[in-house]
Amino acid sequence: YLLFQETHAVNYSSTCRLKANEDNADDETQSKDNKKTEKDSLPSIEINPNEHKLQYAYALWYSRRNPGKQSSIQSYDQNLKLVGRFASVEQFWSLYSHLVRPSELTTSTDFHLFKVGIKPMWEDEANQKGGKWIVRLRKGLVSRCWENLILAMLGEQFMVGEEICGAVVSIRFQEDIICVWNKTASDYATTSRIRDTLRRVLHLPASASMEYKTHNESLKNVHRL
Protein backbone atom coordinates (compact mmCIF):
# COMPACT_ATOMS: atom_id res chain seq x y z
CA TYR A 1 0.00 0.00 0.00
CA LEU A 2 1.21 3.50 -0.73
CA LEU A 3 0.00 6.36 1.39
CA PHE A 4 1.66 9.11 -0.55
CA GLN A 5 0.60 10.36 -3.94
CA GLU A 6 4.17 11.64 -4.36
CA THR A 7 6.65 9.46 -2.54
CA HIS A 8 9.35 12.12 -2.62
CA ALA A 9 7.26 14.91 -1.11
CA VAL A 10 7.56 14.16 2.60
CA ASN A 11 10.94 13.21 4.00
CA TYR A 12 11.13 13.87 7.73
CA SER A 13 13.31 10.84 8.43
CA SER A 14 13.73 7.26 7.31
CA THR A 15 11.73 6.20 10.37
CA CYS A 16 8.72 8.14 9.11
CA ARG A 17 8.55 6.52 5.68
CA LEU A 18 6.17 3.74 4.73
CA LYS A 19 7.35 1.11 2.30
CA ALA A 20 4.92 -0.81 0.12
CA ASN A 21 6.81 -4.08 0.47
CA GLU A 22 8.72 -4.84 3.63
CA ASP A 23 10.73 -7.99 4.15
CA ASN A 24 10.50 -10.05 7.30
CA ALA A 25 13.56 -8.41 8.82
CA ASP A 26 12.04 -4.96 8.45
CA ASP A 27 8.78 -6.16 10.02
CA GLU A 28 10.66 -7.54 13.00
CA THR A 29 12.57 -4.30 13.45
CA GLN A 30 9.38 -2.24 13.16
CA SER A 31 7.71 -4.42 15.79
CA LYS A 32 10.54 -3.78 18.23
CA ASP A 33 10.53 -0.05 17.49
CA ASN A 34 6.78 0.11 18.02
CA LYS A 35 7.22 -1.09 21.58
CA LYS A 36 9.13 2.08 22.37
CA THR A 37 7.49 5.43 22.77
CA GLU A 38 8.19 8.08 20.18
CA LYS A 39 10.08 10.08 22.80
CA ASP A 40 12.43 7.15 23.34
CA SER A 41 13.10 6.29 19.70
CA LEU A 42 12.77 9.52 17.69
CA PRO A 43 14.52 12.89 17.85
CA SER A 44 12.63 16.04 18.75
CA ILE A 45 10.88 17.89 15.93
CA GLU A 46 12.72 20.99 14.79
CA ILE A 47 10.71 24.12 13.99
CA ASN A 48 12.03 26.97 11.88
CA PRO A 49 11.73 30.45 13.42
CA ASN A 50 9.36 31.58 10.67
CA GLU A 51 6.93 28.69 11.21
CA HIS A 52 3.75 28.84 13.29
CA LYS A 53 4.12 26.45 16.20
CA LEU A 54 1.16 24.30 17.23
CA GLN A 55 0.29 23.95 20.90
CA TYR A 56 1.11 20.23 20.69
CA ALA A 57 3.26 18.15 18.35
CA TYR A 58 1.46 15.32 16.55
CA ALA A 59 2.25 12.00 14.93
CA LEU A 60 0.29 10.41 12.10
CA TRP A 61 0.01 6.62 12.06
CA TYR A 62 -1.41 4.19 9.53
CA SER A 63 -2.70 0.66 10.03
CA ARG A 64 -4.38 -2.02 7.97
CA ARG A 65 -5.89 -5.28 9.11
CA ASN A 66 -7.14 -8.33 7.28
CA PRO A 67 -10.96 -8.19 7.05
CA GLY A 68 -12.62 -10.91 9.08
CA LYS A 69 -9.38 -11.96 10.77
CA GLN A 70 -9.26 -11.92 14.55
CA SER A 71 -6.90 -9.21 15.79
CA SER A 72 -4.76 -9.47 18.92
CA ILE A 73 -3.11 -6.63 20.80
CA GLN A 74 0.27 -7.78 19.53
CA SER A 75 -0.76 -7.92 15.87
CA TYR A 76 -2.43 -4.51 16.17
CA ASP A 77 0.80 -3.04 17.54
CA GLN A 78 2.81 -4.59 14.71
CA ASN A 79 0.44 -3.21 12.09
CA LEU A 80 0.89 0.40 13.25
CA LYS A 81 3.17 2.33 10.90
CA LEU A 82 4.42 5.81 11.66
CA VAL A 83 3.85 8.06 8.63
CA GLY A 84 5.24 11.36 9.90
CA ARG A 85 5.32 13.94 12.68
CA PHE A 86 4.81 17.68 12.79
CA ALA A 87 4.84 20.52 15.29
CA SER A 88 3.91 23.56 13.19
CA VAL A 89 1.14 24.61 10.82
CA GLU A 90 3.55 24.54 7.89
CA GLN A 91 4.80 21.03 8.71
CA PHE A 92 1.23 19.79 8.97
CA TRP A 93 0.26 21.07 5.51
CA SER A 94 3.48 19.73 4.03
CA LEU A 95 2.48 16.26 5.21
CA TYR A 96 -1.27 16.47 4.76
CA SER A 97 -1.20 17.88 1.23
CA HIS A 98 0.55 14.78 -0.06
CA LEU A 99 -1.53 12.17 1.75
CA VAL A 100 -4.19 10.07 0.11
CA ARG A 101 -7.61 11.17 1.37
CA PRO A 102 -9.50 8.72 3.61
CA SER A 103 -12.16 8.10 0.94
CA GLU A 104 -9.42 6.79 -1.35
CA LEU A 105 -8.06 4.29 1.16
CA THR A 106 -8.87 0.61 0.88
CA THR A 107 -11.31 -1.08 3.24
CA SER A 108 -10.07 -2.01 6.73
CA THR A 109 -7.46 0.76 6.90
CA ASP A 110 -7.08 3.52 9.48
CA PHE A 111 -5.35 6.84 9.97
CA HIS A 112 -4.48 7.74 13.59
CA LEU A 113 -3.51 11.33 14.43
CA PHE A 114 -2.23 11.47 18.03
CA LYS A 115 -0.16 13.79 20.14
CA VAL A 116 3.53 12.91 20.12
CA GLY A 117 4.24 10.65 23.07
CA ILE A 118 0.81 8.97 22.96
CA LYS A 119 0.53 5.81 20.92
CA PRO A 120 -2.88 5.03 19.37
CA MET A 121 -3.43 1.99 21.58
CA TRP A 122 -5.72 1.43 24.55
CA GLU A 123 -2.76 0.15 26.53
CA ASP A 124 -0.80 3.41 26.31
CA GLU A 125 -0.56 5.06 29.72
CA ALA A 126 -2.33 8.21 28.52
CA ASN A 127 -5.27 6.16 27.21
CA GLN A 128 -5.79 3.62 29.98
CA LYS A 129 -8.43 5.62 31.89
CA GLY A 130 -9.93 7.21 28.81
CA GLY A 131 -12.45 6.53 26.13
CA LYS A 132 -13.61 7.67 22.72
CA TRP A 133 -16.52 9.25 20.94
CA ILE A 134 -17.58 7.20 17.93
CA VAL A 135 -19.33 8.67 14.89
CA ARG A 136 -20.46 6.37 12.09
CA LEU A 137 -20.71 7.97 8.67
CA ARG A 138 -22.36 6.91 5.47
CA LYS A 139 -20.05 6.54 2.51
CA GLY A 140 -18.98 9.74 0.79
CA LEU A 141 -18.63 11.96 3.87
CA VAL A 142 -15.45 10.77 5.51
CA SER A 143 -12.81 12.94 3.80
CA ARG A 144 -14.59 16.21 4.55
CA CYS A 145 -15.41 15.18 8.12
CA TRP A 146 -11.87 14.00 8.81
CA GLU A 147 -10.36 17.25 7.57
CA ASN A 148 -12.81 19.32 9.62
CA LEU A 149 -12.01 17.25 12.69
CA ILE A 150 -8.24 17.40 12.54
CA LEU A 151 -8.24 21.13 11.79
CA ALA A 152 -10.45 21.67 14.84
CA MET A 153 -8.17 19.48 16.94
CA LEU A 154 -4.98 21.24 15.83
CA GLY A 155 -6.67 24.60 16.38
CA GLU A 156 -7.65 23.64 19.95
CA GLN A 157 -11.35 24.18 19.26
CA PHE A 158 -12.39 21.49 21.74
CA MET A 159 -11.31 23.68 24.67
CA VAL A 160 -10.64 20.78 27.04
CA GLY A 161 -6.97 21.39 27.80
CA GLU A 162 -4.82 18.28 27.59
CA GLU A 163 -7.77 15.89 27.52
CA ILE A 164 -7.66 15.17 23.79
CA CYS A 165 -5.29 12.30 22.96
CA GLY A 166 -5.98 11.97 19.26
CA ALA A 167 -8.40 11.01 16.52
CA VAL A 168 -8.91 7.98 14.29
CA VAL A 169 -10.58 7.54 10.93
CA SER A 170 -11.50 3.97 9.97
CA ILE A 171 -12.52 2.88 6.48
CA ARG A 172 -14.95 -0.02 6.47
CA PHE A 173 -17.04 -1.82 3.88
CA GLN A 174 -20.49 -0.30 4.41
CA GLU A 175 -19.61 2.75 6.50
CA ASP A 176 -16.73 4.85 7.74
CA ILE A 177 -15.98 5.65 11.38
CA ILE A 178 -14.44 8.66 13.07
CA CYS A 179 -13.35 8.58 16.72
CA VAL A 180 -11.95 11.13 19.15
CA TRP A 181 -9.98 9.75 22.08
CA ASN A 182 -9.70 11.52 25.43
CA LYS A 183 -7.82 10.79 28.66
CA THR A 184 -10.53 10.70 31.32
CA ALA A 185 -13.66 8.72 30.59
CA SER A 186 -15.17 9.51 34.00
CA ASP A 187 -15.12 13.29 33.42
CA TYR A 188 -18.67 13.86 32.19
CA ALA A 189 -18.27 17.61 31.66
CA THR A 190 -15.24 17.06 29.43
CA THR A 191 -16.74 14.23 27.41
CA SER A 192 -19.91 16.28 26.92
CA ARG A 193 -17.93 19.26 25.64
CA ILE A 194 -16.03 17.00 23.24
CA ARG A 195 -19.33 15.57 22.00
CA ASP A 196 -20.84 19.00 21.41
CA THR A 197 -17.74 20.30 19.63
CA LEU A 198 -17.53 17.17 17.52
CA ARG A 199 -21.14 17.55 16.49
CA ARG A 200 -20.49 21.17 15.52
CA VAL A 201 -17.28 20.73 13.53
CA LEU A 202 -18.67 17.73 11.65
CA HIS A 203 -21.96 19.57 11.00
CA LEU A 204 -23.93 16.64 12.39
CA PRO A 205 -27.70 16.97 12.76
CA ALA A 206 -29.18 16.68 16.23
CA SER A 207 -30.55 13.27 15.28
CA ALA A 208 -27.11 11.88 14.41
CA SER A 209 -26.09 8.89 16.50
CA MET A 210 -22.96 9.25 18.65
CA GLU A 211 -21.60 6.63 21.02
CA TYR A 212 -19.10 7.00 23.85
CA LYS A 213 -17.09 3.92 24.74
CA THR A 214 -14.45 3.55 27.44
CA HIS A 215 -11.22 1.80 26.54
CA ASN A 216 -11.88 -0.69 29.33
CA GLU A 217 -15.02 -1.72 27.44
CA SER A 218 -13.06 -1.99 24.22
CA LEU A 219 -10.44 -4.21 25.81
CA LYS A 220 -13.15 -6.75 26.54
CA ASN A 221 -13.81 -7.14 22.82
CA VAL A 222 -11.73 -9.27 20.53
CA HIS A 223 -12.04 -7.06 17.47
CA ARG A 224 -11.00 -3.43 17.17
CA LEU A 225 -12.91 -0.79 15.28
Written as tens digits, the pLDDT of the chain (225 aa) is 334 333 333 333 333 333 333 444 444 444 444 444 444 567 899 999 999 999 999 999 999 987 665 555 556 677 899 999 999 999 999 999 999 999 999 999 999 999 999 999 988 888 889 999 999 999 999 999 999 999 999 999 999 999 999 999 999 999 999 999 999 999 999 999 999 999 999 998 877 889 999 998 877 764 444
Rounded to the nearest 5 degrees, what angle is found at the Cα of 100, between the Cα atoms of 53 and 20? 105
User: Count of CB atoms within 10 A of residue 29's CB?
Assistant: 12
DSSP state of 102: G
Least Cα distance to 160 among 198, 202, 205, 134 occurs for 198
Ramachandran category for residue 117: left, alpha or beta (phi over 0 → left; psi -120 to 50 → alpha)? left
Look at residue 148 and tell me if it is in a domain: yes
Look at residue 21 and tell me if it is in a domain: no
Look at residue 191 and tell me if it is in a domain: yes
Look at residue 36 and tell me if it is in a domain: no
Looking at the structure of the chain, the number of domains it has is 1
Give the CATH number of the domain where residue 192 resides: 3.30.760.10
172-217 tens-digit pLDDT: 999 999 999 999 999 999 999 999 999 999 998 877 889 999 998 8
Q: Give the domain extent around 154.
A: 53-223
Look at residue 219 and tell me if it is in a domain: yes
